[in-house]
Chain A
Amino acid sequence: MTGHADGAARAPRSPMVPHLGDAVLFLGMVVVLATFLRLVSFAMAQSERGRVLARATAMATTLAEEFAASPSGSRRELEDPEARLVARCDVTQEATGGGVLYRATVEVTEQGGEAPVYEVSTARYVRDGGGDRP
């Protein structure tokens, strides 16, 4: 036998083998790319949720603080056009023996949306003829 180092041991190669290898590599690349894109899109969605929630919390805090400072005369609505959020403050009052207890529910929704993004409730007691509680 001359010259054949491995020719006898190797089976004849099918012309499809290189193409199959390429196809597997290509498929792997597509799967990786798809997974990467899904991860990035998931990350973007989570970031957006976090950003909206942070903004909604800040808006709710603003209205709640204004209510605490002046339960009967505070602003009832606040808009953030950039974040497309609207905060509304509903105030109810209840006469108690010695004064009035004001209750406020602040609800932040997306513009045109119904479901609240964030909600906070608080209360303030104002004694008859006296100042607000701390």
Chain B
Amino acid sequence: MTGSVGRRPGDADDLGALSLALLLVTLCAMALGLLIASMSVSTLTLSETRAETVRSTYRLESVAQSLVARLDGACSRGMSPGEALGVALAEPRDDEGDPAGRVDVSGAYEDGLVRLRLERGRRTLAVALEPTPEGMEVREWAMGAMPNEEPSLGSLL
């Protein structure tokens, strides 16, 4: 009696080839999907970073303008620049109740100029005001950014 050793459809060899093909298709689909998803997440992250930078910039402008208004008002009431600075910094600001929107402010009166430094996140604003008989004259208004502490690709190269 002779037995048949021929292959039937659905044998292990056929399934193995099909499985391999499916595995390849799976890997390709997953890689493509992950690539598309990661690209879209990076795009969104960039937009969010830009939106936050713009928000910080205008927030700093806002606080600086209100400080200038206070200083100008205090000087017009006859206060000395040093006193006016103390009063302006001591008054509560509208950003203080909002931890996310808080702006750190420091100031000094030196060399005849009132210098203010405002920080929010990585954005900074340096302002120099000169007291004149008409009020505070702006001598410097410089928006900037603190260096990023995380290493970037540029710093690694």
Q: Are A98 and B51 in contact (CB under 8 A)?
A: no
The prevalent SS among residues of A at the interface is helix
Binary flags per residue of B38-73, CB closer than 8 Å to A gives 1, else 0:
011101101110110011001101110110111011
- CB pair A97 B62 closer than 8 Å: no
Whether the pair A57, B5 counts as a contact (CB closer than 8 A) is no
**Residue tally, chain A, CB below 8 Å to B:** 55
Q: Is A72 an interface residue (CB 8 A)?
A: no
Number of interface residues of B (CB under 8 A): 52
Q: Counting CB contacts under 8 A, is B154 at the interface?
A: no
Interface residues as binary, A45-56 with B (CB distance below 8 Å gives 1, 0 otherwise): 011011101101
Closest-CB distance, B142 to chain A (whole angstroms): 10
**A92 CB to closest chain B CB, in angstroms?**
11
Whether A114 sits at the interface, judged by CB under 8 Å, is no
Measured between beta carbons, the chain B residues less than 8 angstroms from A120 are: 54-55, 58
CB of A99 within 8 A of CB of B10, answer no
Q: Assess whether A96 is interfacial by the CB under 8 Å rule.
A: yes
Chain A neighbourhood of B141, CB < 8 A: 134
CA distance A119 to B34 in the complex (A): 32
Is there an interface contact between A121 and B19, defined as CB atoms closer than 8 Å? no
- The chain A residue with its CB closest to the CB of B21 is A25
Q: Assuming A32-B29, A47-B40, is B66 touching A118 (CB within 8 A)?
A: no
Is the beta-carbon distance between A97 and B68 smaller than 8 angstroms?
Answer: no
- Pairwise interchain contact B30-A130, C-beta atoms closer than 8 A: no
Assembled-state Cα–Cα distance A118/B48 (Å): 10
Bound state CA distance, A17 and B59, in angstroms?
Answer: 69
0 or 1 for each of B1-39: is its CB under 8 Å from A? (1 = yes): 111010011100001001100100110011011101101
Is A35 in contact with B72, judged by CB distance below 8 angstroms?
A: no
CB distance from A35 to the nearest CB of B (A): 7
Q: Give the residue name and chain of the B residue nearest to A8 (CB).
A: B3
Task: List residues of A (12-39) whose CB comes within 8 Å of B's CBs.
Answer: 13, 17-19, 21-22, 25, 28-29, 32-33, 35-36, 39
The chain B residue with its CB closest to the CB of A6 is B5
A88 interface residue, CB < 8 Å from B?
no
With contacts A18-B9, A61-B54, A98-B69 known, is A35 near B37, CB below 8 A? Answer: no
24 A-B pairs (CB sep. < 8 Å): A2-B1, A3-B1, A3-B2, A5-B5, A18-B15, A21-B10, A21-B15, A25-B19, A35-B30, A36-B30, A46-B44, A50-B48, A54-B51, A96-B70, A98-B69, A120-B54, A122-B62, A125-B68, A125-B72, A127-B72, A127-B134, A133-B68, A133-B138, A134-B138
